[in-house]
Structure 1
Amino acid sequence: MIKLLSVAIFAALFLESHQKTVGKVLLAEVPEIKPQLPCDYPTHIQCWTDWFDRDDPTGSGDWETFSNLYKENPGKICRKPQGIEATTLSGLSVVAAGEVIFKNDATSGFVCRNVDQTQKKMCSDYRVRFSCHPPFCGGGVCWTDWFDRDNPSGSGDWELLSNLRKEYLGKICEYPLYIEVVTTDTMTPAISTGENFYIFNPTQGFVCRNKDQKSGECRDYKVRFGCPCKN
């Protein structure tokens, strides 16, 4: 009887010890699961083409028309762009350049005529790019968190990518493909507010200046960036 009891106790202790060992091994073999940014295909955000500069203002002006650019750059511009961005070759936005622009839309393209400028001034030399919807853009997009580093209480709302990188180390990819901007209170897309923007692109970030608004003050905005998904 004593022998049987001893055997039973030994077996129980061995089983308990074996279970603990197995448990430790199993836990050690479970791989660590790291959270990843969700990858999706945006329907309301566009990607940008390369920059195009087919003309200069030495003649009647700078004519960067969509019809000519589409013919001269086959496969590089979608058939129906959603938007257009124009800057001077030195990087100034249309608002910052302060010139009179004859055309600036995704359907017609961009035209600055010398005859429209004051004091017989010639237009600056401009470059343009167009925004397109997927699938023209390619793969999916991984979004960063929302960032809101400024408010319009000063000269405006300055959400520059260079500043955001410094303040949120490692949180933004090296080459963002997209930028999304909404108001902080109602999540209204910036493009639906009717305000004028000084900078609005994924390579520089976003700036809304109070002096460019009819009301005299920008709304408060937050931004996020779309990055290439890593397989």
Structure 2
Amino acid sequence: MQMKIFLLQLFFFICYEGALSQPQGCWTNWFDRDNPGGTGDWELLSDYYKEGYNLCFQPKAVRCRTKNTHKPYSSTGESVTCTLATGLICKNQDQSPGKFCSDYEVSFLCPCCWTRWFDIDDPSATGDWELLRDNPNVCREPSEIRCRKKYTNLGAHLIGEIHKCSLSYGFSCRNSEQPGYEPGRTMCSDYEVSYLCPCNSKGCWTDWLDRDDPSGTGDWEPLNDFRKEKYDVCSEPPEAKCRRTFSHQNALSTGQTLTCSKSGLVCKNRDQHLRFHWWYRYSRCYDYEVSFHCPCCWSKWIDIDDPSGVGDYEIIEALRNLKYDICSHPVAIRCRTKKTQIDSSVTGEKLICSPTLGLSCRNSHQPGRKGCSDYEVSLLCPCTT
């Protein structure tokens, strides 16, 4: 069996399987675009798309409730339809004589995406405060949070400083709570946070790409060269973002003369100001990397393992080792049974379906020891055409 080649990867996956819990999706914020005047309350999925709400295409589920009391639509006693295909419809003419529809709101279940890393505060006199309430660029009900020390990529729990990393709160590190605190001398490190929120329909950011070093004439990261060199980049991205490698500083805040556009990045050494360092002077670009905003595409359905032996394992790293064209950081994953094409979330089997690791289904974890079904997976990545 081909998977035996990847026993080491499989062992790593199984060891951490019990500790991992990747949501099957993220619920959007509660949306309310219509009031129950006129003919009723219309919270149509198609209207949310037309009006540019932050919503994925083909959501997996829908929830409907009254706006003010948060009562489920099914318990209001009103004649209401709440369906995934349409959204919510409540017509005043369908209600009891003299009654009108309540004001409703809806929420949709979408694939999950990690936000970019946010650092909205510096470690000042009191500490470092990366609070969710102070960040308008994050969904109101994120599913998970990650906290790490800036520049190092080390999780906050590895730094040894007393801190709080909470999904409902955000992150905080108080100087006064650190061991051996000395006023004016003890200070928290600089941290950043990322949240797991519903993906929207606007596209996918590619991995951070760096094809050139700032030797010779400068640092050249043009889109055309990435395409020629077979990087996974679409032909006409609507936008791009650029940053320094290692420090991740925004390229436009470095003070260097450069261009960063949807065509890529160009930084010429000859355009830089002279900088003095010890006994010599030099003029040179930093090393930069770029990411392009492309449409999202689902990969074909892939099945590299059968549910024999210990179970069915469709591990992303194994897919790459078998030369399947999978991006480094898939945005989302779909998992289904191969023959019947039933979504893994409704098979009743205990498994993991994660865009970080792939699919894992262990025969020994199934009720009645009946064994796993044969699964296949599809990954959501930036389109390359």
Q: Greater RCO between the two (CA within 8 Å, min separation 6)?
A: 1
TM (norm. structure 2) is: 0.30
Larger Rg: 1
Relative to its length, the structure with more helix (as a share) is 1
